[in-house]
Amino acid sequence: MGDVSKLPKWAQDHIRHLEMTIQRHEERINELSSIFPDTNVKVTQHHIYPDVTLPPDSSVDFYMGESRERYRDMLTVKHDSNCPGWLDLHGSNGRLIVAASSSNSFRVRIADL
Protein backbone atom coordinates (compact mmCIF):
# COMPACT_ATOMS: atom_id res chain seq x y z
CA MET A 1 0.00 0.00 0.00
CA GLY A 2 1.22 3.50 -0.75
CA ASP A 3 1.85 6.28 1.72
CA VAL A 4 -1.46 7.19 3.37
CA SER A 5 -0.01 9.57 5.99
CA LYS A 6 -1.17 12.64 4.06
CA LEU A 7 -4.78 11.45 3.90
CA PRO A 8 -7.38 12.67 6.43
CA LYS A 9 -7.39 10.77 9.73
CA TRP A 10 -10.77 9.16 8.98
CA ALA A 11 -9.43 7.81 5.66
CA GLN A 12 -6.28 6.45 7.33
CA ASP A 13 -8.44 4.72 9.97
CA HIS A 14 -10.72 3.29 7.29
CA ILE A 15 -7.77 1.95 5.26
CA ARG A 16 -6.23 0.45 8.39
CA HIS A 17 -9.57 -1.21 9.19
CA LEU A 18 -9.83 -2.61 5.65
CA GLU A 19 -6.26 -3.97 5.81
CA MET A 20 -7.03 -5.72 9.11
CA THR A 21 -10.25 -7.15 7.63
CA ILE A 22 -8.34 -8.48 4.61
CA GLN A 23 -5.73 -10.05 6.89
CA ARG A 24 -8.45 -11.75 9.01
CA HIS A 25 -10.17 -13.06 5.87
CA GLU A 26 -6.90 -14.39 4.43
CA GLU A 27 -6.14 -16.15 7.73
CA ARG A 28 -9.62 -17.68 7.79
CA ILE A 29 -9.34 -18.81 4.15
CA ASN A 30 -5.98 -20.45 4.90
CA GLU A 31 -7.45 -22.09 8.01
CA LEU A 32 -10.44 -23.49 6.09
CA SER A 33 -8.22 -24.55 3.21
CA SER A 34 -6.23 -26.93 5.39
CA ILE A 35 -8.84 -28.46 7.71
CA PHE A 36 -8.12 -31.97 6.39
CA PRO A 37 -4.33 -32.16 5.97
CA ASP A 38 -4.23 -35.96 5.49
CA THR A 39 -7.03 -36.15 2.94
CA ASN A 40 -6.97 -37.68 -0.51
CA VAL A 41 -9.31 -35.00 -1.95
CA LYS A 42 -8.38 -31.40 -2.73
CA VAL A 43 -10.13 -28.77 -4.82
CA THR A 44 -7.52 -26.90 -6.83
CA GLN A 45 -8.50 -23.41 -7.85
CA HIS A 46 -5.48 -22.54 -10.00
CA HIS A 47 -4.05 -19.53 -8.14
CA ILE A 48 -7.31 -17.60 -7.91
CA TYR A 49 -8.13 -18.85 -4.42
CA PRO A 50 -6.19 -21.18 -2.13
CA ASP A 51 -6.68 -24.90 -2.66
CA VAL A 52 -9.31 -26.41 -0.35
CA THR A 53 -8.94 -29.83 1.24
CA LEU A 54 -12.08 -31.94 1.66
CA PRO A 55 -12.72 -34.80 4.09
CA PRO A 56 -11.09 -38.10 3.06
CA ASP A 57 -12.95 -40.08 0.39
CA SER A 58 -15.27 -37.14 -0.43
CA SER A 59 -17.30 -37.01 -3.61
CA VAL A 60 -17.30 -33.93 -5.81
CA ASP A 61 -20.39 -33.13 -7.90
CA PHE A 62 -20.23 -31.23 -11.18
CA TYR A 63 -23.33 -29.73 -12.78
CA MET A 64 -22.90 -30.54 -16.46
CA GLY A 65 -26.01 -28.92 -17.92
CA GLU A 66 -28.13 -25.85 -17.36
CA SER A 67 -30.00 -27.42 -14.45
CA ARG A 68 -28.77 -26.98 -10.89
CA GLU A 69 -31.08 -29.66 -9.54
CA ARG A 70 -29.42 -32.39 -7.56
CA TYR A 71 -29.17 -35.71 -9.44
CA ARG A 72 -29.98 -34.16 -12.82
CA ASP A 73 -27.24 -33.68 -15.39
CA MET A 74 -24.66 -34.17 -12.68
CA LEU A 75 -21.31 -35.95 -12.81
CA THR A 76 -19.98 -37.23 -9.48
CA VAL A 77 -16.28 -37.98 -9.03
CA LYS A 78 -14.93 -39.95 -6.07
CA HIS A 79 -11.56 -41.34 -5.04
CA ASP A 80 -11.72 -44.11 -2.45
CA SER A 81 -8.53 -44.37 -0.41
CA ASN A 82 -9.20 -48.12 -0.06
CA CYS A 83 -8.79 -48.50 -3.84
CA PRO A 84 -5.57 -46.63 -4.62
CA GLY A 85 -5.05 -45.81 -8.27
CA TRP A 86 -8.76 -45.80 -9.14
CA LEU A 87 -11.17 -42.93 -9.66
CA ASP A 88 -14.94 -43.48 -9.77
CA LEU A 89 -17.12 -41.35 -12.06
CA HIS A 90 -20.90 -41.56 -11.98
CA GLY A 91 -23.27 -39.82 -14.39
CA SER A 92 -26.62 -39.10 -12.77
CA ASN A 93 -28.67 -38.95 -15.94
CA GLY A 94 -27.50 -40.81 -19.00
CA ARG A 95 -24.48 -42.66 -20.34
CA LEU A 96 -20.99 -41.31 -19.96
CA ILE A 97 -18.85 -40.70 -23.02
CA VAL A 98 -15.10 -40.94 -22.43
CA ALA A 99 -12.71 -39.50 -25.01
CA ALA A 100 -8.93 -39.67 -24.78
CA SER A 101 -7.21 -36.29 -25.07
CA SER A 102 -3.64 -37.57 -24.81
CA SER A 103 -1.78 -40.47 -23.25
CA ASN A 104 -2.35 -39.08 -19.75
CA SER A 105 -5.62 -37.14 -20.13
CA PHE A 106 -9.23 -37.80 -21.05
CA ARG A 107 -12.54 -35.95 -21.17
CA VAL A 108 -15.89 -37.15 -19.88
CA ARG A 109 -19.36 -35.96 -20.72
CA ILE A 110 -22.92 -37.09 -20.21
CA ALA A 111 -24.26 -38.47 -23.52
CA ASP A 112 -27.67 -36.79 -23.45
CA LEU A 113 -26.39 -33.22 -23.00
Question: Whole-prediction pTM value?
Answer: 0.65
Banded model confidence at residue 6, pLDDT cuts 50, 70, 90: very high
The model's confidence at residue 1, banded by pLDDT at 50, 70 and 90, is: low
Q: What is the mean pLDDT of residues 16-25?
A: 95
Distance, in Å, from the CA atom of 58 to the CA atom of 84, rounded to the nearest integer, reads 14
* Per-residue pLDDT tens digits for 40-77: 888 887 777 778 888 999 999 988 878 777 667 888 99
Residue 113's pLDDT band (boundaries 50, 70, 90)? Answer: low
Tell me what pLDDT residue 100 has.
Answer: 93
Identify residue 26 by its one-letter amino acid code: E
- State how far the Cα of 70 lies from the Cα of 34, in Å rounded to an integer: 27
pLDDT of residue 29 exceeding 90: no
What are the residues whose beta carbons fall under 8 Å from the beta carbon of 47, sequence distance 6 or more? none
Mean of per-residue pLDDT scores for the chain: 87
Average pLDDT over residues 23-33: 85
Determine the Cα–Cα distance for residues 42 and 30; give it in Å rounded to an integer: 14
